[in-house]
Amino acid sequence: MMAQQVNSPLLKRPRADRGAEEEPDSSEGFTFSQEPTLDQIRAMQNQFARERDWDQFHSPRNLLLAMVGEVGEVAELFQWRGEVKEGLPDWSEKDKKHLSQELSDVLIYLVRLAEKCQVDLPAATVEKIKLNKQKYPAHQVYGSSKKYTEYATPEKNSS
Ligand SMILES: Nc1ccn([C@H]2C[C@H](O)[C@@H](COP(=O)(O)OP(=O)(O)OP(=O)(O)O)O2)c(=O)n1
């Protein structure tokens, strides 16, 4: 379930030296399972709530608060550890499992919140990444983590 280490030279070569077909599409060789899709997760959680007559509790505000609570639980797992290495090589299997559960809770509430707000989350995410690319042109910001407002000719943020 955790990232596998892949020593790809692509990860270390500067972007300008790489062809588009060579672009790595994952972090250290790690990828997600193809399924379930976000819409399948939405449907699974919808059914979970219906079977328990919990729709009445899943108002947008309640879901938001529940999601933030779960984000807090994720943060709790990281607190006091100092910097954490990619792939969590120093974590116990128990803590890694715990993290996977808490991150899943966040996603479940996020997807449910998006459903209740009628936000088409996968489509909205694609659109947002498109906006991010416009706001942070690779040639302008490569290797810098400055916010777009710190650049001389900032792109307009339309979100
Ligand atoms: N009213 C609720 C309560 C729970 N859940 C689902 C969504 C979450 O994935 C998970 C959250 O359950 P808990 O509130 O028991 O939280 P944890 O699983 O994190 O347990 P704990 O707080 O003990 O770590 O259950 C839900 O959909 N609606």
pLDDT in tens, 71-82: 999 999 999 999
Q: What is the pLDDT along the chain (159 residues), one digit of tens a residue?
A: 344 333 333 333 344 444 545 566 877 789 999 999 999 999 999 999 999 999 999 999 999 999 999 999 999 999 999 999 999 999 999 999 999 999 999 999 999 999 999 999 999 999 999 999 999 999 999 998 887 777 765 545 544
**104-128 pLDDT, tens per residue?**
999 999 999 999 999 999 999 999 9
Only one residue has tokens 């997807």, namely: 111
pLDDT of residue 23: 63
Q: Is the CB of 108 under 6 A from ligand 1?
A: yes
pLDDT at 96: 98
pTM (two decimals): 0.82
Query: 106, 113 in Cβ contact below 8 A?
Result: no
Measured from the CB, is residue 41 less than 6 Å from ligand 1? no
Ligand 1 geometric centre to CA of 98 (Å): 13
Assess whether the C-beta atom of 57 lies below 6 angstroms from ligand 1.
yes
Pick the atom of ligand 1 nearest to 102's CA: 19
Does the Cβ of 73 fall within 6 Å of ligand 1?
yes
- Burial zone of 112 (CB within 10 Å; 0-12 exposed, 13-18 middle, 19+ buried): buried
Using the atom order of ligand 1, give the atom closest to the CA of residue 104: 9
CA of 106 to the centre of ligand 1 (A): 10
Distance 68 CA to ligand 1 centre (A): 12
Q: How far is the CA of 15 from the centre of ligand 1 (A)?
A: 42
| Tokens found for residue 53 | 């007559």
Bridge partners (DSSP) listed for residue 56: none
CB 105 less than 6 A from any atom of ligand 1: yes
Q: 30 in helix, strand or coil?
A: strand
Q: What pLDDT sits at residue 1?
A: 39
